[in-house]
A and B are shown apart, each in its own frame.
Chain A
């Protein structure tokens, strides 16, 4: 007995309610899997913000704060660390490379980061990817700047353009280093990380633009001349450390945290990223719960429609019984109907989800820096789909049971 054919025809005869049920299932699938896709990709893009770095070192504060300002360019350091301490740690045995970071200035809302030239060869993000230039090259002269892809795109900059850096991190800063404009020497490829929103200059550049400044105030008597010799920074904001071997990382972390020269904090970027992400897990769970409730609502709607139609179908059931259908056939028919509706809903939902990802992909990436790839449903998503199908089977059991009860009372003849 091919129940699917009967179920199909029966559903087709109740087209309008069937279509509405399919739409509600499809919407719930879009939401459930859409939220899941955004969540997974946000998490992986987050975890991929920095890689290949074994330790991040800054002034002693909280590990998340250090991560936020050194990697995400959010917030600011409570304290700087001295050049002397940096040099001391950089020369320790086991340290392969270090990249100094100097923050505190901005250009039209984008953070300016002073660093060394090693940054462009050593810094890694994602799956151990290094930075690449779309045009130009790394900074050579003191007043050279390398900008991230988003800076270039938003401000429509190209190589050779002049950049005036503001003191402080606000986008409408009144104190600008107008006397010392920088020239764009390179534009980096898109990374999907905060690097895209950063203006990179040399540490010397940072020093140079602050010459004749005293703190945040411009000195009146501007006489000092910028030369290579007086551009050694006295302090930096933080530095990244790469080690010869992972084995020494705990030892090195303890060494830095116990460093007697000044209070320092060394963190493992992976662990700190994880800590930061778990702060956001409440929102993540809330989204998932909301989408689960939408699924429940869709299934409940389907159940309501199925139950409401049951009374009208008593005659149909009686006829099927008279031509030899067993109770199992009747129950099977009703369960097949709900599972069929759900399957069609899932398929339509997936088609709509993927086509909307396809359409919205560039917009999401532009506005939120989040790239959502079009990939086949992963194990977790397939699991969600299977659970939805199993749930539709369970939902189908309810009308199946009532049809069975009706059919027991009706037999082959409906008295109505």
Chain B
């Protein structure tokens, strides 16, 4: 992988070895991954291939026993946990498979949650829309069928598809450089899945964020610049079929 000098690298993993416990087998062995800015990368992997571990490493939740991890220009092996948390808060928006939302917060409070932890994203949101709430409303109105629910209400009445859209709005608020989506459509039916992907890519076009998309389902891989298989990234992973 020869990356052009003009494009900065957002994710660089080199020869990463990781085990959850000192005595456990390596979950990731000699992991390598490079993602450049504005790239949309599809990572294909079956469950058990070390996907979620990989995402925890990129998110700075855990650090590998060996190897190099560089995220948005920060060497994660040199940073304290608190500093890695700050990088995650400032630069990464996550969308997970399901249960993305905090049940006791309203739709709006869920979307604005990252701005509570990151001043950078708060400032970005204010710069773009005047206030964090305005920005959240803007994103929700784009991603979400208008007027269906009051954004002040809790998320318990939302369908899974609607929940995923709220999660996408939360990942996008404050324009983080990197969006990481972990099987975001796997709990959706076909129509909702297509609609979600369309919305996600539309937003990425607008924000210019980089996307790291992880899935075992190759249906949407044609939408991406690049497809990487977990078995290539992780020497420990079983080859996905």
Contact = CB atoms under 8 A, between A and B. Distances in A.
A1 B94 contact: no
Contacts of A413: 52, 55-56, 96, 182
Interface stretch (A82-90, A126-134, A138-146, A316-324): A316-324
Contact of B117 (A9, A329, A412): A329
B94 A412 contact: yes
A324 B86 contact: yes
A396 to B, nearest CB: 18
B114 A323 contact: yes
Interface in A1-57: 1-2, 6, 9-10, 12-13
A328 interface: yes
Contact of B90 (A12, A319, A324, A325): A324
Contacts of A328: 82
A296 to B, nearest CB: 29
A42 to B, nearest CB: 47
Nearest to B53: A411
Interface stretch (B98-106, B144-152, B201-209): B98-106
B116 interface: yes
Contacts of B102: 316, 319-320
Contacts of B113: 320, 323
Given A328-B82, A412-B94, A323 B117 contact: yes
B56 A326 contact: no
Q: How many A residues touch the partner, as a band?
A: 20 to 34
B82 A326 contact: yes
Given A319-B102, A411-B56, A326 B81 contact: yes
B61 interface: yes
A12 B103 CA distance: 11
Contacts, number: 71
Given A328-B82, A412-B61, A1 B56 contact: no
A187 to B, nearest CB: 65
A237 to B, nearest CB: 73
A322 B117 contact: no
B105 A325 contact: no
Given A1-B117, A323-B170, A324-B118, A411 B81 contact: no
A315 interface: yes
A9 B81 contact: no
A6 B102 CA distance: 10
Contacts of A409: 20
B85 interface: yes
A210 interface: no
B89 interface: yes
B104 A12 contact: yes
Given A328-B82, A412-B94, A319 B104 contact: no
22 contacts: A1-B116, A9-B104, A9-B105, A13-B103, A315-B99, A316-B102, A319-B102, A320-B102, A320-B113, A322-B88, A322-B96, A323-B89, A323-B94, A324-B118, A325-B89, A325-B117, A326-B81, A328-B82, A411-B52, A412-B59, A412-B96, A413-B96
Given A6-B105, A316-B102, 9 more contacts: A6-B116, A13-B104, A319-B100, A323-B170, A324-B88, A324-B89, A325-B85, A326-B85, A327-B81
Interface of B: 20, 52-53, 55-56, 59, 61-62, 81-82, 85-86, 88-90, 94, 96, 99-105, 109, 113-114, 116-118, 170, 182
Interface of A: 1-2, 6, 9-10, 12-13, 315-316, 319-329, 409, 411-414
